[in-house]
Amino acid sequence: MAKKSKSAYVCTECGADYAQWQGQCMACGEWNTLKEFKVSSNKASSRQKTSGYSGASEKKVYSVRDVSLSEVPRIDSGLDELDRVLGGGIVPGSVVLVGGDPGVGKSSLLLQVSCLLSQRHPVLYVTGEESLQQVAMRAKRMELPDDALRLLTETDVESIVVAAENEKPKVMIIDSIQTMQLAEVSSAAGGVSQVRESTAYLTRFAKQNNVMIFLVGHVTKSGEVAGPRVLEHIVDSVLFLEGQSDSRFRTLRAIKNRFGAVNELGVFAMTDKGMKQIKNPSAIFLSRAEAPSPGSVVMVLWEGSRPLLVEIQALVDESPYGAPKRVTVGLDYNRMAMLLAVLHRHAGVQANDQDVYVNVVGGVKVSETSADLAVLCAVISSLKNKLLAQDLIVFGEVGLSGEIRPVSSGQERIFEAVKHGFKRAIVPMANVPKGGVPGMAIQGVTTLHQVLSLL
């Protein structure tokens, strides 16, 4: 029976659909985000629905207590940093979307994972952007064990599924989802409708056949995965591979994960032999200048299940204009503005006529409040042009009334600092270990005034 296509309009931000185009999406309030979406409808199926679902297979309904709660065994990817971000390994039947800027190393990372997994499980690597020779050349250059890896160059999703049914892989990589297309969807590859329907088609195949699928996704200029926002809702996990063009280090973090925490961080080094795992990322971000300078202090972040030492730098200079600048890199701008107001109100330190620049060294993004105290210490150090001790660490949350609040996993943060040779610490009073820590002089504080006296 011939299929007839009709148009719908889908919001690329929230995934809401409408029968006709309109300027504003009523669901999310965004303007000019509705894109045309071709929907194919089968007349035969519609007649079946109106005639009492004739020929339709009945689905059995289960009780909650009848569902098996046995733990699903995870698959070791061969890279501990990737397993950490995924929550302990690869879950069979899951779909993971890996995004990142062009050239950051998405294809290299997944090719490396494919070759390692192919030594233990059947793996199918599908490429829609490169030829088979290009993929094979990269695997040879990276000196990967590629003897068991199966390759396929194809962009038609239905043909890929047919090949997968014949190969019966346990893991499948699609590079990239923007090059995939379905014949029944009348739009170009990479469009809203093609990306959405191709992902949904592959997700159904993964769930029905218990196949783990990695999807490579390109990003837009704003740093989001290209395609409709509903794409992130279809998949089980969304990972972002980030890195600066002038640095060989890459960070992998999850912004969505149905099978684990979303605050885990994996660190890699990009080399000519592929992605090298960094077991001790604190050593990377602590490459401080040989000559100490004011405005620099080290703090301890808590990323997922491990501590991470990073350097906070601040530069405070007299503003030549009426409106001083406030610039943050790796920190929330509004959070820093709030901290400067607290510093003025409760510590008497004024920066209203000063330009303030704050940077987290190494390109790390700090989202937790434990960096509050370190930011203020760096700002005070730069403003007063006073050096802080090189063996000092600082962490703690600062409240609006000037109090220093405790943070989670405080003792573990201190122990991590001791491993890296730090001798002093300024932390919230509630985070001071009762028995102390050998080799570490810990000062517990409750107010900003106490911090100023210690500095």
pLDDT at 428: 95
What does the pLDDT look like over 70-100, one tens digit per residue? 667 899 999 999 999 998 899 999 999 999 8
Contact 84, 237 (CB under 8 A): no
pLDDT at 4: 52
What does the pLDDT look like over 255-303, one tens digit per residue? 899 988 887 888 898 988 889 998 888 877 776 666 788 999 999 998 8
The percentage of residues in the chain with a pLDDT greater than 70, rounded to a whole number, is 90
CA proximity to 282, closest of 392, 364, 359: 364
Query: Which uninterrupted H or E stretch holds 285?
Result: helix 282-285
Q: How far apart are CA 196 and CA 391, in angstroms?
A: 52
Q: Read off φ and ψ for residue 413, nearest 5 degrees.
A: -65, -40
Phi-psi region of 402 (alpha: psi -120 to 50; beta: other; left: phi over 0): left
> How is the chain split into domains, by residue range?
3-43, 74-278, 284-454
pLDDT at 45: 39
Q: How far apart are CA 133 and CA 323, in angstroms?
A: 57
What is the CATH code of the structural domain delimited by 284-454?
3.30.230.10
pLDDT at 156: 94
Q: Name the CATH topology of 74-278.
A: Rossmann fold (3.40.50)
pTM recorded for the entire structure: 0.73
Q: How far apart are CA 27 and CA 13, in angstroms?
A: 10
Other C-beta atoms closer than 10 Å to the C-beta of 117 total 24
Q: Read off φ and ψ for residue 405, nearest 5 degrees.
A: -95, 150
DSSP type of residue 295: T
Query: Beta 326-329 vs 306-318: how paired, if at all?
Result: unpaired
CA proximity to 248, closest of 285, 275, 279, 286: 275
What does the pLDDT look like over 327-371, one tens digit per residue? 999 999 999 999 999 999 998 888 888 999 999 987 788 888 999
Contact 176, 218 (CB under 8 A): yes
Query: Beta 123-127 vs 171-175: how paired, if at all?
Result: parallel
Confidence of residue 196 (pLDDT cuts 50, 70, 90): confident
pLDDT at 228: 59
Query: Which uninterrupted H or E stretch holds 453?
Result: helix 448-454
Instruction: Calculate Rg over the CA atoms of the chain.
Output: 26
What residues contact 162, with CB distance under 8 A and at least 6 apart? none
Reply yes or no: is the peptide bond before residue 176 cis, omega within 30 of 0. Answer: yes
Burial call 281-317: b when 16+ CB within 10 Å, e when fewer: bbebbbeeeeeeebbbbbbbbbbbebbbbbbbbbbbe
pLDDT at 1: 44
Q: Read off φ and ψ for residue 67, nearest 5 degrees.
A: -80, 130
Contact 368, 322 (CB under 8 A): no
